[in-house]
Amino acid sequence: MTLELPIRIGHGYDLHLLKKGRNLILGGVEIPFKLGLMGHSDADCLSHALADAILGAMSLPDIGYYFPDTEKENKDIDSKIILKKAIQEAGIRGYQIGNIDLTIVAEEPKLSPYVEKIKISLSQTTSIQKNRIGLKATTNEKIGAIGRKEGIAAFAVCTLVLQKIKLQFDPL
């Protein structure tokens, strides 16, 4: 007999290069900036990191498994769809998000004016209260590719809470 864990913890990370001609989207919010993130989807590295944290907490494959960049229908896909799929996968298994803690690493643009707007967007996408979402923005202190303003990275940690007890009987 297997008893599901009451709480699961997941960690996610994503990084995208900055380039001209793209919109900068973080947590589902378009940030006014001269550059955007490069990727097959809308390249929202914050939503990607969170989706991977949710999937990881469930011991499931990462977002590339569900949304491969080899599929044309995934070109420029809204990352809210990716995030909702991760939440759906957790829900199928009886879990919902307990809380989220996020960090965006970027030299520019300065993101502090957008933190509240991003939290509201993520609250709406994840259907959890805004006060259960932590969000920080920091720099890389001019070190490495992010420090040279070549990209933006995001880290995510989330807890998933079991909503219903599932007992599974293992065959002998």
Q: Three-class SS string for 53-79? A: HHHHHCCCCCHHHHCCCCCHHHCCCCH
Output the average pLDDT for the chain: 94
> What pTM does this model have?
0.93
Which structure tokens are listed for 151?
């990209």
Our measurement of the distance from residue 136's CA atom to the centroid of its chain's CA atoms, rounded to an integer in Å, reads 14
- Greatest pairwise CA separation for the chain in angstroms: 61
Q: Which CATH class is domain 2-168?
A: alpha beta
Distance of CA 53 to the CA centre of its chain: 7
**168 pLDDT higher than 90:** no
Share of the chain above pLDDT 90, in %: 92
The full set of domain ranges for the chain reads: 2-168
pLDDT tens-digit series, residues 33-80: 999 999 999 999 999 999 999 999 999 999 999 999 999 999 999 999
- The whole-number pLDDT of residue 8 equals 98
Distance CA 57, CA 109 (A): 31
Tell me the mean pLDDT in the region 98-115. 97
Q: How many CB atoms lie within 10 A of CB 131?
A: 9
Which residues sit opposite 138 in a β-bridge? 105
Q: 3-state DSSP call for residue 132?
A: helix
* Confidence at residue 101, expressed as pLDDT on a 0 to 100 scale: 98
pLDDT at residue 164 is higher than 70: no
Which amino acid would we find at residue 151? G
In this predicted structure, which of 3-7, 73-77, 107-111, 116-120 has the lowest mean pLDDT? Answer: 3-7
Q: Which helix (H) or strand (E) holds 97?
A: strand 95-105
* Amino acid identity at 78: D
